[in-house]
Amino acid sequence: MCHGSEVLDVDGVTVSFPGHTVLRDVGFAVRAGQFCGLIGSNGSGKTTLLRTILGFQKPDAGRIRVDGASGAGAIGYVPQKLVLDPYLPLRSRDLVALGLDGRRPGLPFPSRRRRIAVDAMLSAVEAEPFADRRIGDLSGGQQQRVLIAHALIRKPRLLLLDEPLANLDVRSVAGIVALLHRLCTEQGIAVLLSAHDMNPLLPVMDRIVYLANGHAASGSTDEVVRGEVLGRLYGYHVDVVRVHGRVLVIAAGSPEESRAALSRDPVHVAQIP
Amino acid sequence: MFASFMINTWLVATVVAVVAGCVGFFVVARGASFAAHALPLGAFPGAAAASLFGVDPLLGLIVAACAGVVGIVWLGRRERHEVATALCLVMLLGVGALFLSMTSQYSQSVYALLFGEVLGVSDRDLVSISAVGGACVLLVVLLFRPLLLGSVSAELLGAQRLAGRHMELVFLAILALATAVSLPVVGALLVFSLMVGPACAARSLSSRPGCAVLLSVGFALVTVWAAIALSWESDWPVGFFVGALGVILYGLGRFGTRVRILSSLDDSTC
Amino acid sequence: MTIMRIRFASLIDPAFVASAPVHTAIVVGGGAALVSAVIGVFTVMRGQSFAGHALADVSSAGGAASLLLGISPLAGFLVMAALAGVGMELVQIRRARERDLVTGVVLGAGLSVAALFLYLDVTSHSTTGAAITVMFGSMFAIPASIVAPALAVGAGSLLLVALLYRPLLLSCVDPELAAVQGVGVRVAGLLHLMALALAVSLCAITVGAILSTALLIGPAAIALRVAKRPGSAILLAALIGVLVTWAGILLAWDSYDWTPGHGWPVSFFVVTLIFMLYVAAGWWPGNLSGARGTRIETDARRRSEG
């Protein structure tokens, strides 16, 4: 697939908090129109990485360039686990409109241009049926669609989503993934989406960034999701099993088995402290 | 009750209601209940201190309220918000207790500051209250969208390059001004009810933020006017009626929410 | 330093030691501080500081009513606080923001009633100074007849806390963990509010309704900054509360000499000492890295922000 220019470039990023290092020398790039999955278990540093890209967190080392400039330009962001106030008098379309001009001073006077943009965005995420409902009344999948619309209305070139598929039912997951893929290919946006399970994303992922032990391996799914690569990341012997197009990453049964398996394996395994 | 010397009181009450309605909407949306209760209470000794130093009580109230805001934000950096608010509140009140013991304030004026009073208001007072109140409303209007977005989520604000912490500080400052303006009429202890009751009723009746704010102002006007009128007739304190009406409006809000939920059609598509 | 000399002089000043109001103040004030500090630790861990403050303010309506009806102020504060506590617990709401809203509305209702009662106090009994007494207390004017019932109330609430110690702790960490072990989480919460009502009414007669919050939250906040375990936090809070109150009483007694004619209020000294100790606790080693509080209260905070 023909992809556009580099939208996100992460180079040698290290982030640590008092007590432990979360990200070590993480580097990868995402191009326009690419769908990139950021995969890792809970606590692997996915949220930290996304927050660092957004500029909420300063890295100890390394550099992040978005859209050719350092320091974030317009990035669309869908945060993790947003708990929406059920009593807040705000409709879906109001929240999407705030994505357009949420930082502007003054009262929002009715504007045809804004209404057209909001309507277009709502229809792009298929949120028209619940456009006039309160955001607190929406189901999990509906909320995600509205938040995606909110993030995309300013036409950013990069869209970050932090665990958008957690707590969604299977049908909603498929719907969101399909929506994001469509937006990615039709509008040439670069999508970086974090998840702990890569399987729903396999059909649409162009690139994968796999996080484990603070280290990252990036590339295509075939390049990265292999026993040798993941074993190197984890410092532990893992087997990758493919069943009906789905992927299972299985660790060795015990440390002894891992050592035995690694001693048979000619590939050098990096020391993970 | 509509004698010429009462006209100013009605005008001040109107200003207070508009301010409380606007700011109260965001108090409810942002969940700042404790701060909205603590700031007026902490600020009231400021009026007592002002008379000690021979200064305009409004100024004393503003200074005390701002001191409260600074305290809450400063302590709130390393402590959870409500403990910071509680500590700040008692510190202000402790100092207030000291000032009260030093002034020759009679219990009656303490009572008036705590529970509100219907009094003749001078033209000068009307001007200064309108000015501060106007500034307050202007700030709310200017920051309407960031404040609204911040009540949904601080992270969404961050994505638009606005610091949630800064917005919190600005909001508290607006709350401090609103407090200073509303306190003399409804009393320190009932400012919260005037801000929260109308806003709760409003949010259940409208799903659009703009409409909800206007409704909130409307309910606040009704509350203040009714409280003054009833207080005038019965001689009972203004605060009593404000508190009672606040409870009624809150109940109205809960009822309205229930009705809305029952009557909404369920059409969940993903 | 002159102040030090004055303080020590007071300690051996026979007038201070022999004064009956001082005895009452030390006993009742110390008791109130002890009880509040202990319960306050749970209140802060459960994220219910606003509820604690609200109960105190609402109890003022009871204090005002007691003046009107001529009954014991302790009873008045207590009954009103208990009613408010029941009211708050009955309106069962999960979200922390909405709970705060209800707390505030109940508080407003209680205060409007207080407004009315105080007004009636003044007009019917011409009890001037009612507002100040009810709100700010009068440590040196506690009638000796209150000592016995006050100590009973204090002992009762401490007993309640001792009985509820482990269930309360567990439901702080996670209400579901507690429910699984058969702890009646709602009952525990209600009993905590009742213990709170007892503590608050004790404080109300000493430092006044408005400043009971200082004795409830202050020592607890200081102790939780420093101690790592709930048990040591409770002991430390109790120690701080009692010492600060006694120091406040002493300083207030002294202050009659500082500004001739009248003394400075006890509540002022209590609050200032608490504030100073709180700031000082920030420099306690282990706090410098910014680590916040004990493990239990961190989890409880996460709960209450849900």
Q: Which range among B113-122, C43-52, C175-184 shows the weakest confidence by mean pLDDT?
A: C175-184
Q: Are residues A268 and A160 in the same domain?
A: no
Interface of C with A in 268-297 (CB under 8 A): 289-290
Question: What is the C-alpha separation between B143 and A87, in angstroms, rounded?
Answer: 21
Q: Are residues A24 and A77 in the same domain?
A: yes
In chain B, which residues have their Cβ closer than 8 Å to the Cβ of A150?
Answer: 156
Cross-chain Cβ contact C214/B94 below 8 Å: yes
Task: Report residue C286's pLDDT band, with 50, 70 and 90 as the boundaries.
Answer: low
Cross-chain Cβ contact B152/A172 below 8 Å: no
- Any domain includes A71: yes
Q: Give the mean model confidence (pLDDT) for residues A54-74.
A: 77
Q: What is the pLDDT of residue C299?
A: 42
Number of domains forming the structure of chain A: 2
Nearest Cα residue to C226 out of C281, C265, C164: C281
Q: What is the pLDDT of residue C215?
A: 93
The CATH superfamily label for domain B4-188 reads ABC transporter involved in vitamin B12 uptake, BtuC (1.10.3470.10)
Nearest Cα residue to A264 out of A213, A240, A233, A228: A228
B193 close to C (CB below 8 A): yes
Non-local (6+) Cβ contacts of C234 within 8 A are C37, C38, C41, C223
Q: What is the pLDDT of residue C255?
A: 83
Domain end: A174, A191, A215, which one? A215
- Any domain includes A62: yes
pLDDT tens sequence across C215-234: 999 999 999 988 888 889 99
The whole-angstrom distance between A106's CA and the closest CA on chain B is: 4
pLDDT at B13 over 80: yes
CATH of the domain at C188: 1.10.3470.10
Q: Which range among A93-107, B7-21, B25-39, C1-15 shows the weakest confidence by mean pLDDT?
A: C1-15
pLDDT at A261 over 80: no
Q: Give the mean model confidence (pLDDT) for residues B127-136.
A: 93
Q: Are residues A73 and A144 in the same domain?
A: yes
Q: Are residues A95 and A172 in the same domain?
A: yes
Number of domains forming the structure of chain C: 1
Pick the more confident residue, C101 or B269.
Answer: C101
The whole-angstrom distance between C94's CA and the closest CA on chain A is: 12
Averaged confidence pLDDT in chain C: 81
Question: What is the C-alpha separation between C229 and C220, in angstroms, rounded?
Answer: 13
Question: What is the C-alpha separation between C206 and C203, in angstroms, rounded?
Answer: 5
What own/partner pairs with CB < 8 Å and gap ≥ 24 does A224-229 have? A225/A198, A225/A249, A228/A265, A228/A267
Instruction: Read off φ and ψ for residue A17, nearest 5 degrees.
Output: -110, 160
Q: Which range among A32-46, B117-131, C267-281 shows the weakest confidence by mean pLDDT?
A: B117-131
- Any domain includes A50: yes
Q: Which range among A73-77, A199-203, B71-75, B79-83 shows the weakest confidence by mean pLDDT?
A: A73-77
Say what the ipTM of the complex is.
0.87
Q: What is the pLDDT of residue C9?
A: 56
CATH of the domain at A90: 3.40.50.300
Q: Return the SS3 of A125.
A: coil
A18 close to C (CB below 8 A): yes
pLDDT tens sequence across A104-154: 887 878 889 999 999 999 999 999 999 999 998 899 899 999 999 999 998
B82, B86, B98 member nearest C268 (Cβ): B98
pLDDT at C91 over 50: yes
For an interface test with A, which of C95, C287, C292, C302 has the most A Cβ atoms less than 10 Å from its Cβ? C95
A19 close to C (CB below 8 A): no
Domain that holds residue C116: 2-304
pLDDT at B182 over 60: yes
Q: Would you kindly state where each structural domain of chain B is located, as residue ranges?
A: 4-188
Task: Report residue C291's pLDDT band, with 50, 70 and 90 as the boundaries.
Answer: very low
pLDDT at C290 over 90: no
Task: Report residue B71's pLDDT band, with 50, 70 and 90 as the boundaries.
Answer: very high
Q: Are residues A211 and A237 in the same domain?
A: no
Cross-chain Cβ contact B94/C50 below 8 Å: no
Neighbours of B, requiring at least 3 CB pairs below 8 Å, are A, C
Question: What is the C-alpha separation between C60 and C131, in angstroms, rounded?
Answer: 9
Task: Name the closest residue on chain A to residue B27, using Cα atoms.
Answer: A88
Nearest Cα residue to C189 out of C167, C216, C219: C167
B98 close to C (CB below 8 A): yes
Domain that holds residue A268: 226-273
Pick the more confident residue, C187 or B21.
Answer: B21
Q: Are residues A255 and A122 in the same domain?
A: no
Q: What is the pLDDT of residue B155?
A: 86
Averaged confidence pLDDT in chain B: 88
Which range of A64-78, B65-79, C94-108 scores highest in mean pLDDT? It is B65-79
C101, C107, C211 member nearest B28 (Cβ): C101
A88, A91, A102 member nearest B146 (Cβ): A102
C49, C105, C211 member nearest B82 (Cβ): C49
pLDDT tens sequence across A195-250: 999 999 999 999 999 998 889 999 998 888 888 888 888 888 888 888 888 888 88
Cross-chain Cβ contact B208/A89 below 8 Å: yes
pTM given for the model: 0.86
